[in-house]
Amino acid sequence: MESTDWSADGRAALAAVGVLTVALDSVTGACADADGGGPSGAGDAGPPGASVRRDADPLRELADDCLDGLAEVARWEARAAALKVRLAATYLRATEAVAAPAVAPHDAKCQEMAVTAEVACVLTVSERTAGAFVSDCQALTRGLPLTLAALTAGTISWAHARIIVDETSGLDPAGAAGLEAHFLDPAAPDPARGCPAGELVPSRFRAKARTWRERHHRDSIETRHTKSAADRRVEYRPDSDGMAWFSAYLPADTAAGIWDRTTAAARALQGPDEVRTLTQLRADIAATWLLTSGLADGEVAGGGVPSPRAQVLITVPVLSLLGAGEEPAVLDGYGPIPPSMARRLIAEGADSFYRVLVDPRDGAPLEIGRSSYRVPKAVRQWLRLRDGKCPFPGCNNQSLDNDADHLLAWADGGTTGISNLGQPCRKHHGLKHSSAWTPAGASKDAPPGWTSPSGRHYASEQQDWEPPHWPDRLQAMVTLLAECVPEDPGPDPDSELPPDPFPDWRLFTAGHPWPATAMDDPGWTEPLEDPWLEDLLLQHG
């Protein structure tokens, strides 16, 4: 970018700051009046643009206007973050332009530290935080134009923008552009399914962005996993109030198996006489398993209750399962894993893992592997596969810990089909039955959305399936076969009709007249003397 371009960009950002300040001041004053801080009182005014209908409840109107105001302020916060990015980037370029050339690497480092310290003082943050902010600003302005444009438009938040910066940090320019286009460009060849990026809570958006990154990274997931597995470790960190953190960095299948088995055991111990929460039970069970050789009567983990076996879904592309492809599989509750890990779990007969094959044409699930046929169990597994987690917007509770629930109650005529089922977590299951929040709109492939008491509908996050990548050798074979098999053109509408195979049918019928009784008497019931004519009458009524 030329110096005149970025200096003009900086001046435009400064002008936008003034406009934003005036707009925020006007809303702040209006909200103060609506709260009773102004002379008009609580029922006389609302946010700009709000009109209270005479036939409507003024308090309901005020509540709706406040929700609209919150959404608008969130968009302004995103725009303000975009202005901070442009101002910081312009400041960096301006200081680079006026600074004296660095004679040694030490001089360049000192100049960078001075600039970061200045930004930290202006924003009243630590230098470490300011350094991360400066790095994000450079990434957004230099290589992520779609992200910066979405932030400027207010369609994504600063948290979403930072996630894109993080997930594109290890990608080449083409990969970074592909990730941006997938989530932010509706006209992209393969746009993301389900909710737009800005309508996902940041943690859920990070999961989707990470999944896309794992599939499209220039280095295969096998190579990166082999390198990272060497860093596995257990960490211990003291905390306050006599507590400490104990954590383990493990391969995904091992960690997921530990978590799901601990959750299943904790759920088995819940009951009317158990006062511990599910979170406390998980911690107690894990501690008991690590510190003892097993569960004995009277021990803290529950007095000898056997641990149920966890059932984890593994979604595997068919070609990866056969060893013909290197696309990652997906471990329920975690995300992408190397195909070698999935093949090992399936080959070793890990009966706590359920295999889900993926169609190589469009990425949709083909079938769920199971050792015995039980309809409720199969439906529940398909429900977990469809939703992946609690379908309430923003909820991150994974499917193993959720309840299968009829959207339309069985007593009201609801069926047990997949389109009438959801799997909310305990919290949002209770919310459905104790409030006006209602789920609806599920299908075979999409989880239900939710309608709030105010009448606003919030779509649920969908699985972002995409067609698997065919290895070059297989793609060449498919192309060759398609060229070898001639395409059937079908009938030509302009061609002549084929010749009549029985051109003398009139002469034949003339020599075999219909009997008068059969032709003239409606009540005729006698059999015909000619068997051929009898068969013909039976065939043609």
Segment 61-67 mean pLDDT: 82
What are residue 237's DSSP bridge partners?
245
Within 10 angstroms of residue 273's Cβ, the number of other Cβ atoms is 6
Measured distance between the N- and C-terminal CA atoms of the chain, rounded to whole angstroms: 85
Contacts of range 251-258, beta carbons closer than 8 Å, 24 or more positions apart: 251/225, 251/341, 252/331, 252/334, 252/335, 252/337, 252/341, 253/331, 253/337, 253/341, 253/345, 255/334, 256/312, 256/331, 256/332, 256/333, 256/334, 257/310, 257/312, 257/352, 258/286
The pLDDT of residue 249: 92
What are residue 335's DSSP bridge partners?
331
Rg (CA), the chain: 34
Q: pLDDT of 307-321, one tens digit each?
A: 444 556 677 776 777
User: Does pLDDT of 479 surpass 70?
Assistant: yes
Cα–Cα distance for residue pair 438/68, rounded to 1 Å: 21
The pLDDT of residue 535: 52
The pLDDT of residue 147: 94
What are residue 235's DSSP bridge partners?
247
10 phi/psi in degrees, rounded to 5:
-65, -40
Question: What is the side-by-side strand order in the sheet with 365-368?
Answer: 335-337, 329-331, 312-317, 353-358, 365-368
> 94: burial class by Cβ within 10 Å (0-12, 13-18, 19+)?
middle
Helices (H), 173-327: 173-184, 202-216, 221-229, 252-269, 278-291, 318-321
Pairing of strands 449-451, 365-368: unpaired
User: Does pLDDT of 435 surpass 50?
Assistant: yes
What kind and span of H or E run contains 23? helix 3-34
User: Does pLDDT of 93 surpass 80?
Assistant: yes
Segment 186-199 mean pLDDT: 83
User: Does pLDDT of 296 surpass 80?
Assistant: no
List Cα–Cα distances, 86 to 11, 23, 143, 322, in angstroms.
10, 20, 13, 49
Q: Are 163 and 147 in contact (CB under 8 A)?
A: no
DSSP string, 470-495: PPHHHHHHHHHHHHHSPP-----TTS
Cα–Cα distance for residue pair 146/144, rounded to 1 Å: 6
Identify which of 89-93, 252-256, 297-301, 331-335 has the greatest average pLDDT.
Answer: 89-93
Segment 283-301 mean pLDDT: 69
Cβ-proximal residues to 226 (8 Å cutoff; 6+ apart), any chain: none
Amino acid at 6: W
The pLDDT of residue 431: 87
Query: For the chain, which residues make up each domain, given as ranges?
Result: 3-220, 500-541
533 phi/psi in degrees, rounded to 5:
-65, -35
Pair of tokens at residue 365 = 């699930």
Segment 86-106 mean pLDDT: 78
Which of 444, 473, 449 has the alpha carbon at shortest distance from 460?
449
- How sure is the predictor about 134, in pLDDT bands with cuts at 50, 70 and 90? very high
User: Does pLDDT of 102 surpass 80?
Assistant: no
The pTM of the full predicted model, rounded to 2 decimals, is 0.61
Cβ-proximal residues to 413 (8 Å cutoff; 6+ apart), any chain: none
C-alpha dihedral, 515 to 521 to 526 to 530, nearest 10°? 10
Q: Which residue has the higher pLDDT, 294 or 64?
A: 64
Q: pLDDT of 336-379, one tens digit each?
A: 888 887 777 766 655 556 666 666 666 656 555 533 333 356 67
- How sure is the predictor about 380, in pLDDT bands with cuts at 50, 70 and 90? confident
Pairing of strands 353-358, 365-368: antiparallel
Q: pLDDT of 488-536, one tens digit each?
A: 665 565 555 556 555 555 555 555 554 544 444 445 444 445 454 455 4
Pair of tokens at residue 335 = 């995300």
Q: Are 116 and 130 in contact (CB under 8 A)?
A: yes
| From 139-148, 168-177, 341-350, the region with the lowest mean pLDDT | 341-350
Q: pLDDT of 344-356, one tens digit each?
A: 776 665 555 666 6
- For residue 389, give the DSSP letter: B
Pair of tokens at residue 207 = 């999961």
- How sure is the predictor about 459, in pLDDT bands with cuts at 50, 70 and 90? confident
- How sure is the predictor about 419, in pLDDT bands with cuts at 50, 70 and 90? confident
Cα–Cα distance for residue pair 207/336, rounded to 1 Å: 10
Q: Are 269 and 262 in contact (CB under 8 A)?
A: no
Amino acid at 3: S
Mean pLDDT of the chain: 74
Identify which of 59-63, 182-186, 192-196, 417-421 has the greatest average pLDDT.
Answer: 182-186
Pairing of strands 405-406, 421-422: antiparallel
H, E, C per residue of 126-191: CHHHHHHHHHHHHHHHHHCHHHHHHHHHCCCCHHHHHHHHHHCCCCCHHHHHHHHHHHHCCCCCCC
Cα–Cα distance for residue pair 262/254, rounded to 1 Å: 12
User: Does pLDDT of 227 surpass 80?
Assistant: yes
- How sure is the predictor about 133, in pLDDT bands with cuts at 50, 70 and 90? very high
The pLDDT of residue 282: 92
Using a pLDDT cut of 90, give the percent of the chain over it: 11
What kind and span of H or E run contains 63? helix 58-98
Segment 481-485 mean pLDDT: 71
Segment 89-112 mean pLDDT: 76
Q: Are 420 and 406 in contact (CB under 8 A)?
A: yes
Q: pLDDT of 117-126, one tens digit each?
A: 888 888 888 8
Q: pLDDT of 2-42, one tens digit each?
A: 555 656 665 666 666 666 666 655 655 555 555 544 433 43
Pair of tokens at residue 179 = 């990730």
Q: What is the largest CA-CA distance in the chain?
A: 121
The pLDDT of residue 487: 64
Q: pLDDT of 244-273, one tens digit each?
A: 889 999 988 888 888 888 988 898 898 888
Segment 166-185 mean pLDDT: 89
Pair of tokens at residue 454 = 């105010």
